[in-house]
């Protein structure tokens, strides 16, 4: 009896003191952040928390954001838009390393509105950076999008967009208001801000999983907010932004349009009914995500996304191997990771262009499916069987 009790205590203790998985997500254009050592941060946090910390660092912010939706890490140190996604998917805010900042869309002299930039060129940081994220959001809010521009130049050099305006290389860019003010004080600026965002959390934000054991989470929070938590290249968590600022950023992140011409946008309940009627449900998330959990009966055809997250995306830049044997006359539903995931939007567009007659877009995807307590298949998936066309019609 004593032995059983001791084993039970050991199990409970082991569960409470689980390893911590930490991800440091950085932008390549952030020179200070690039010197961050995730291993050093992990080692120091491990000593404070009393458990092993498995830490890693990534420059792929799109993948970091994707992982927040699937809960792959327990702690994120990341820019505001990645943190905003995490806070919408089971994470709690610890704080940020810098005060709120404002972004501005800057245009060449003479331009007063985004509509006047049609056919021009815009300089943006890497596609998944917070700067590019804010630019897309501000354009969407003004009723425009990146399709307004003839060329979108993505680069990894911070602050070069303002110089590119001065030299006539581009017609617009995005920058922090402080950088724009310094630029204008130089006396050589050949442009001005035409859109200003609301305040968004600055620097790097730290978030932790809400279901982390209370004692462990208290140690993690205390370390990040203490002087011991000074992180080279990042600093210390010294600010606690208003949660509304993250909700604002998350709203900007819902880039997918509410409608898709040629396809019908459907809800979780409608997808369930379509599945029962024999429609094909196509999951375009990664194979890993599909293998972990999926809508019962869905088939996996991952969408390899490289094109810009915009209604004017170029499908030729992406990889979406829709099998030729799929029946174009059969209704098909595409879905991924919710309204902020463009893969299913793009997949639906590609399917329409390839002759599929009845296309449904499940914009809410897996988050909406689970929120509505729909059945989820977590078994080992069997090889997919595709619905083929009637030989007589081929």
Residue ranges of the domains in the chain? 2-99+202-253, 103-196, 264-393
Residue showing tokens 């809960």: 71
Q: In Å, what is the CA distance from 180 to each residue of 74, 168, 185? A: 36, 17, 9
Q: In Å, what is the CA distance from 188 to each residue of 104, 191, 228, 232? A: 18, 9, 43, 35
Cα(68)–Cα(70) distance, rounded to whole angstroms? 5
CATH hierarchy code of domain 2-99+202-253: 3.40.190.10
The secondary structure element, H or E, covering residue 185 is helix 177-185
* CA gyration radius, the chain: 23
How many alpha carbons fall within 13 Å on the CB side of residue 350?
25
The secondary structure element, H or E, covering residue 279 is none
Q: Is 345 helix (H, G, I), strand (E, B) or coil?
A: helix
Question: pTM of the entire structure?
Answer: 0.65
Q: Which residues contact 267 (CB under 8 A, 6 or more apart)?
A: 362, 364, 368
Beta partners for residue 173, in sequence order: 106, 123
> 300, 343 in Cβ contact below 8 A?
no
CATH 3.40.250.10 fits 264-393, yes or no: yes
Q: What is the 3-state secondary structure (H, E, C) of 324-348?
A: CCECCCCCEEEECCCCCCCHHHHHH
One fold for 2-99+202-253 and 103-196: yes
Q: In Å, what is the CA distance from 148 to each residue of 21, 114, 171? A: 41, 8, 12
Q: Whose CA is closest to 237, among 78, 28, 48?
A: 78
Instruction: List pLDDT tens digits, range 189-225.
Output: 999 999 999 999 999 999 999 999 999 999 999 999 9
**Which residue did the predictor score with more confidence, 113 or 228?**
113
Residue 382 pLDDT grade (very low, low, confident, very high; cuts 50, 70, 90)? low
Beta partners for residue 78, in sequence order: 205
Cα(331)–Cα(277) distance, rounded to whole angstroms? 10
Instruction: List pLDDT tens digits, range 293-306.
Output: 999 999 999 999 99
Q: 125: alpha, beta or left, given left = phi > 0 and alpha = psi -120 to 50?
A: beta
Instruction: List pLDDT tens digits, range 251-288.
Output: 775 567 778 889 999 999 999 999 999 999 999 999 99
Distance of CA 49 to the CA centre of its chain: 28
User: Looking at the domain covering 103-196, what would its CATH class be?
Assistant: alpha beta
């Amino acid at each position: 009896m004593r032995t059983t009790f001791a084993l039970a205590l050991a199990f409970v203790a082991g569960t409470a003191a689980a390893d911590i998985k930490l991800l440091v997500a950085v932008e390549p254009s952030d020179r200070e952040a690039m010197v961050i050592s995730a291993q050093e941060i992990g080692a120091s946090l491990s000593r404070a928390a009393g458990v092993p910390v498995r830490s890693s660092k990534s420059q792929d912010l799109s993948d970091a954001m994707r992982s927040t939706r699937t809960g792959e890490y327990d702690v994120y140190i990341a820019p505001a838009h990645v943190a905003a996604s995490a806070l919408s998917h089971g994470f709690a805010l610890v704080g940020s390393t810098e005060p709120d900042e404002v972004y501005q869309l800057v245009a060449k002299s003479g331009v007063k509105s985004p509509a006047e930039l049609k056919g021009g060129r815009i300089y943006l940081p890497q596609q998944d950076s917070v700067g590019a994220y804010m630019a897309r959001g501000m354009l969407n809010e003004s009723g425009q999008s990146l399709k307004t521009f003839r060329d979108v130049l993505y680069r990894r050099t911070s602050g070069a967009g303002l110089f590119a305006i001065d030299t006539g290389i581009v017609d617009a860019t995005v920058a922090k208001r402080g950088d724009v003010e310094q630029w204008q004080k130089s006396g050589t600026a050949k442009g001005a801000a035409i859109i200003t965002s609301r305040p968004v959390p600055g620097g790097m934000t730290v978030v932790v999983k809400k279901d982390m054991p209370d004692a462990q989470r208290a140690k993690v929070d205390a370390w990040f907010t203490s002087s011991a938590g000074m992180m080279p290249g990042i600093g210390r968590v010294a600010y606690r932004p208003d949660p509304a600022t993250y909700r604002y950023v998350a709203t900007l992140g819902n880039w997918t349009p509410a409608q898709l011409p040629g396809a019908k946008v459907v809800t979780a309940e409608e997808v369930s009914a379509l599945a029962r009627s024999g429609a094909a449900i196509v999951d375009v998330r990664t194979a890993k995500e599909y293998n972990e959990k999926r809508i019962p009966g869905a088939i996996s055809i991952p969408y390899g996304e490289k094109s810009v997250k915009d209604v004017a995306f170029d499908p030729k830049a992406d990889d979406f191997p829709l099998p030729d044997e799929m029946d174009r006359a059969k209704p098909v539903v595409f879905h991924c990771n919710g309204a902020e995931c463009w893969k299913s939007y793009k997949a639906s567009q590609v399917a329409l262009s390839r002759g599929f007659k009845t296309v449904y877009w499940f914009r809410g995807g897996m988050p909406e499916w689970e929120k509505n307590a729909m059945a989820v298949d977590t078994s080992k998936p069997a090889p997919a069987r595709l619905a083929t066309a009637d030989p007589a019609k081929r």
